[in-house]
């Protein structure tokens, strides 16, 4: 248990992993829904996240997209206090640091390593606020506690678990191989007091009959003295849930007649814009990796958001995609730019304050007669309105730096609340851009947009995601010792199971 801001002891457990991408985020989302279904007020928490896939909260703050999904699992609105520190990589060695939803600054990795311990009070404050009305808090670690080279000043794993006095359970991914060594090896490198804090472990992503791994479970238990909480079989529908890491990006699940291609730029951001399109049966969504030309048979080229627009514009051009895009446009193909992608489609991008690097101006791709000026002030707001071409309702969020204006702005793509124009459409109608993320999650807008290409939408996105969370909760209930997990958290079985 840990203390909330009012001094009340709140049952809590922290899910850490033997490595990155072992499935912690989805496990936490599933557990949130499982316990919410049993009548508990559940809250997710991740002290430190690293992702360019951010969500905007109701008060205009930023958190990791995974915590927004976990909040959905809890059936509550996302809060900045669910993820108080968010790192958004801008280069290979530096990241923008978001603290309690707001931009704190841009730091190189070495600089952040020296300052992260100073953020622990903010993290603890957010944890207390987040826990104040909860019956149970499920905390997600980042990376692995076995990364002992990063232990100094740690706020993501054992450093936070110790500060908040949390019990820990360990998640290990058998699909990547070496799962026994990964759990036993984690035990070996932890400090004695950290080993004591780990109360159990479970195995994730098992293909086949989980009973075949019982000898493996007993071997890990014997070598670590940690309690085995179960083996979670492979959950195929996990691929349909929003991905947190750009490394998890996959092509579409549909094989429809409408072909949308997306160049995977180096600092791709808010790529959950693609998720509803991935799931549409009538759409074929192709993610074009570096070194591969844009295919010539696309109906739509979608330029996604970017954490570093000028850098990604140069990356786009270095791949020769600018030449492919010109051929696509010449054939009558359509182009849509979202946020950073919208900025790239203009005539110029200026960075007078040096927000993304040395001050200066670069030429854009030139498909829209607009110019962008980057500023240090970031816009993070919810957005709603109307799609001008179809009249369909639009809802989503903005999360960007910069202002974009020019003659094509007189033909906006959206009219947002208060008749505020957003984006631009070229005179020939082939090219459009917008600052609004999350557009395609809205069934009405997505249906109208696809209809213009002769494709009928067959998806009810939010309802389908909610159904998958229900299925995931049931999947975990069958696979894990939920009673033991709750006891580790310090909770009441009677409360959680309604008996």
- Could you write out the three-class secondary structure of 302-335? EECEECCHHHHHHHHHHCCHHHHHHHHHHCCCEE
Per-residue pLDDT, 9: 81
Cβ neighbourhood burial of 270 (10 Å; 0-12, 13-18, 19+): buried
The single residue of 339, 387, 400, 475 carrying the catalytic annotation is 339
Distance (Å, rounded) from C-alpha 33 to C-alpha 454?
37
**Starting at the edge strand that comes first in sequence, how are the strands of the sheet with 334-338 ordered?**
283-288, 258-263, 300-303, 334-338, 431-434, 424-425
Question: Is-contact 462 68, C-beta < 8 A?
Answer: no
Tell me if 47 sits within 8 A of 53, measured CB to CB.
no
Q: Which residues pair with 495 in a beta bridge?
A: none
d(CA 315, CA 412): 28
Residue 61: exposure state from Cβ atoms within 10 A (0-12, 13-18, ≥19): buried
pLDDT of residue 323: 98
The CA dihedral of 242, 248, 249, 251, to the nearest 10 degrees, is -100
Told to judge if 339 belongs to the known catalytic residues of this protein, a careful annotator would answer yes
What pTM, to 2 d.p., does this model score? 0.91
Sign of CA dihedral 281, 251, 398, 112: positive
Give the tokens for residue 454: 């002769």
CA dist 139 and 70 (Å) reads: 10
pLDDT in tens, 278-297: 999 999 999 999 999 999 99
Token pair 């915590």 is found at: 67
User: Phi/psi at 359 (nearest 5 deg)?
Assistant: -55, 145
Distance in angstroms (rounded) separating the CA atoms of residues 380 and 303: 20
The most distant pair of C-alpha atoms in the chain lies apart, rounded to whole Å, by 71
Among 328, 400, 437, 475, the one annotated catalytic? 437
Quickly tell me which residue has 């070229």 as its tokens. Answer: 426
Tokens of 441: 């999650």
Q: What is the pLDDT of residues 76-106, one digit of tens each?
A: 999 999 999 999 887 766 788 999 999 888 8
Residue 244's nearest CA partner among 499, 26, 56, 2 is 26
Mean pLDDT by 10 residues, the chain (499 residues): 65 97 97 98 97 89 95 97 93 83 85 83 97 96 91 92 97 96 98 97 96 97 98 95 69 84 94 93 95 97 96 97 98 98 98 92 98 92 95 95 96 94 97 97 98 96 97 98 96 42
Active site includes 81? no
Tokens at 110, concatenated: 């070495």
Q: How far apart are CA 348 and CA 154, in angstroms?
A: 42
User: Cβ–Cβ contacts within 10 Å for residue 257, how many?
Assistant: 12
The structure tokens 């890990």 sit at 220
Q: Give the 3-state DSSP-derived string for the chain, with helices as H, strands as E and coil as C.
A: CEECCCCCEECEEEEEECCCCCCHHHHHHHHHHHHHHCCCCEEEECCEEECCCEEECCCCCEEEHHHHHHHHHHCCCCCHHHCCEEEEECCCCEEEEEECCEEEEEEEHHHHHHHHHHHHHHHHHHHHHHHCCCCEEEEECCCCCCCHHHCCCCCCCHHHHHHHCCCEEEEEEHHHCCHHHHHHHHHHHCCHHHHHHEEEEEEEEECCCHHHHHHHHHHHHHHHCCEEEEEEECCHHHHHCCCCCHHHCCCCCCCCCEEEEEECCCCEECHHHHHHHHHCCCEEEEEECCCCCCCCCCCEEEECEECCHHHHHHHHHHCCHHHHHHHHHHCCCEEEEECHHHHHCCCEEEECCCCCCCCEEEECCCCCCCEEEEEEEEEEEEEEEEECCCCCEEEEEEEEEEEEECHHHHCCCEEECCCEEECEECCCCCEEEECCECHHHCHHHHHHHHHCCCCCCCCCHHHHHHHHHHHHHHHHHHHECHHHHHHHHCCCHHHHHCC
For position 423, what pLDDT does the model report? 98
| Cα-based torsion angle of the residue sequence 47, 48, 53, 55 in order, rounded to the nearest 10 degrees | 30
According to the model, what pLDDT value does residue 217 have?
98
Cα-Cα-Cα-Cα torsion 398, 403, 406, 412, nearest 10 degrees, comes to 10
């Amino acid at each position: 248990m840990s203390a909330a801001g009012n001094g009340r002891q709140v049952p809590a457990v922290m899910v850490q992993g033997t490595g990155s991408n072992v499935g912690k985020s989805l496990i936490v989302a599933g557990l949130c829904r499982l316990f919410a279904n049993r009548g508990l007020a559940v809250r997710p928490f991740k002290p430190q996240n690293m992702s360019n896939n951010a969500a905007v909260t109701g008060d205009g703050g930023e958190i990791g997209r995974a915590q927004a999904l976990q909040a959905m699992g809890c059936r509550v609105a996302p809060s900045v206090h669910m993820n108080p520190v968010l790192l958004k990589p801008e280069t290979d060695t530096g990241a923008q640091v978001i603290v309690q939803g707001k931009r704190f600054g841009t730091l190189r990795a070495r600089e952040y390593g020296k300052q992260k311990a100073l953020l622990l009070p903010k993290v603890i404050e957010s944890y207390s606020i987040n826990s104040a009305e909860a019956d149970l808090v499920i905390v997600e670690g980042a990376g692995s506690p076995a990364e002992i080279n990063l232990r100094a000043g740690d706020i993501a794993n054992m450093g936070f678990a110790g500060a908040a006095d949390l019990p820990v359970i360990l998640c290990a991914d058998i699909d990547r191989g070496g799962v026994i060594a990964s759990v036993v090896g984690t035990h070996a490198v932890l400090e004695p007091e950290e080993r004591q804090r780990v109360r159990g472990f479970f195995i994730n992503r098992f293909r086949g009959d989980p009973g075949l791994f019982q000898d493996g479970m007993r071997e890990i238990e014997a070598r670590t003295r940690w309690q085995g909480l179960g083996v979670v079989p492979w959950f195929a529908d996990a691929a349909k849930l929003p991905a947190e890491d750009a490394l998890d990006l996959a092509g579409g699940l549909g094989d429809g007649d409408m072909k949308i291609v997306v160049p995977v730029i180096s600092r791709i951001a808010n790529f959950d814009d693609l998720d509803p399109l991935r799931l549409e049966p009538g759409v074929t969504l192709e993610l074009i990796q570096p070194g591969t030309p844009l295919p010539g048979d696309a109906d739509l080229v979608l330029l996604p958001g970017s954490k570093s627009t000028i850098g990604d514009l140069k990356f786009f051009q270095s791949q020769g995609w600018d030449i492919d895009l010109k051929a696509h446009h010449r054939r009558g193909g359509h182009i849509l730019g979202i946020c950073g992608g919208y900025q790239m489609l203009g005539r110029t991008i200026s960075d007078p304050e040096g927000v993304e690097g040395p001050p200066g101006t670069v030429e854009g791709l030139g498909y829209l007669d607009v110019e962008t000026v980057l500023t240090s002030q970031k816009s993070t707001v919810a957005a709603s309105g109307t799609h001008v071409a179809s009249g369909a309702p639009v809802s989503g969020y903005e999360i960007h730096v910069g202002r974009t204006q020019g003659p094509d702005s007189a033909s906006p793509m959206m009219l947002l609340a208060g008749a505020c124009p957003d984006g631009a459409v070229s005179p020939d109608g082939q090219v459009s851009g917008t600052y609004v993320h999350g557009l395609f999650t809205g069934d009405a807008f997505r249906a109208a947009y696809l209809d213009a290409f002769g494709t009928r939408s067959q998806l009810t996105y939010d309802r389908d995601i909610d159904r998958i969370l229900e299925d995931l909760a049931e999947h975990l209930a069958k696979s894990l010792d939920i009673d033991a997990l709750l006891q580790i958290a310090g909770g009441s079985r009677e409360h959680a199971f309604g008996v």
